[in-house]
Amino acid sequence: MEHPFAEFIRILGRGKRGARDLTEDEAFRAFNMILAHEAKPEQIGALLMLLRIKEETGSELAGFIRAARANLVVPTHLPPIDLDWSSYAGKRRQLPWFLLSILLLAKNGVRVFVHGLRERDDSRLYTRAALHALGYDEATTIEQAIVAIEQHGFAFMSLDNLAPQLSELLALRDLMGLRSPVNSVVRALNPLRASHSLLGIFHPSYLGIHRDAAIALRESHVGVIKGEGGELERNPDVSCELTEVHGGEVSTATFPALFSQRHMKDTAMDAKLLAAVWRGDVDDEYGTAATIGTAAIALKILGRAANTVEADKLAQAWWRAHVA
């Protein structure tokens, strides 16, 4: 007898004339079977790579996200969280200045939940290691994360602890040599049901995919940017377009470049500089602009500012108050 999961591989793999996209419901059922251990490893690899070749649609991504959320183990009653912040790319050209943006937002009453990768065996600097340099530890359970948000205004959890199955699927990239739709799923997961979500992507085509998925999922408030290195961070050397989805309504806002000339790559990548700038001991032109600029994007999606100009001004005022 044919394996039940073969249906989904056949839909995608029939060739140029016979293949089609999965519907949202089919994507939900396929990913739910994967997470329920009802698909063979060979089938999982085939499905993910067929999707990688054609690129997942917004409807397919919405189905995967629905299944991932349905399989998450989270407390029934959660305290209100303002902003879900995904961090899965790692940084290699510039430090993760967005972490100072998170600290700035938290200092001013915005409650942020951050989730992402632990360190990988590559040349990138990941969030957990950078947070250690700032004096913060990872929360290893959701309960610890809730306590950290109460104490510090934010918390970070690695995907290993938050959703081990998704972490294992994401690790298939090392085996396949290619990303898969799981990379998109974890970015848009919003596991603790924050009222607003922000995510950064590297490849511009995925901006539209995440936009369409947010519409299909009827998300209340989602923002997507092409971030520096694929992280949720505004590069102050270039203009940045924020795509917003608020209850099915789509809009865009463009934040201008803050410098006329591009800055050089940070060859040192010393995370200790983050702490020095946060304390006000060092004035780093690029880092300060990236910190303020990224905080401004968060303020725009949160509705704390009506437009990009007001968002930039408010973020600048918060930074001046912090370093004063």
| The predicted structure's pLDDT at residue 120 | 76
> What number of residues does the chain have?
324
Token reading at 237: 């050397």
SS3 content of the chain, % helix, strand, coil (to 5): 50, 15, 40
- Residue 10, phi-psi category: left (phi > 0), alpha (psi -120 to 50), beta (remainder): alpha
Task: Report the interhelical angle of 24-35 vs 41-54 (nearest 10°).
Answer: 140
Using an 8 Å Cβ cutoff, are 26 and 63 in contact?
yes
Please, where in the chain does CATH 1.20.970.10 lie? 6-70
| The predicted structure's pLDDT at residue 126 | 95
Task: Select from 321, 254, 297 the least CA-distant residue to 102.
Answer: 297
- What's the rounded Cα separation, in Å, for the pair 295 and 127? 17
| The predicted structure's pLDDT at residue 278 | 98
10 Å CB burial of residue 161 (0-12, 13-18, 19+) is middle
| The predicted structure's pLDDT at residue 6 | 98
Architecture field, domain 6-70: Up-down Bundle (1.20)
Largest separation between any pair of C-alpha atoms in the chain? 71
Q: What is the mean pLDDT of each run of 10 residues along the chain (324 residues)?
A: 96 94 98 98 97 96 98 93 97 97 98 92 90 96 97 97 97 92 97 97 94 97 97 98 97 97 96 97 97 98 98 98 96
Give this prediction's pTM: 0.96
Q: Angle 234-309-311 (CA atoms, 0-180°, nearest 5)?
A: 60
Task: Select from 142, 154, 87, 94 the least CA-distant residue to 118.
Answer: 87
Please, where in the chain does CATH 3.40.1030.10 lie? 83-323
CATH T-level topology, domain 83-323 = Pyrimidine Nucleoside Phosphorylase; Chain A, domain 2 (3.40.1030)
Q: How many CA atoms lie within 13 A of 196 on its CB side?
A: 18
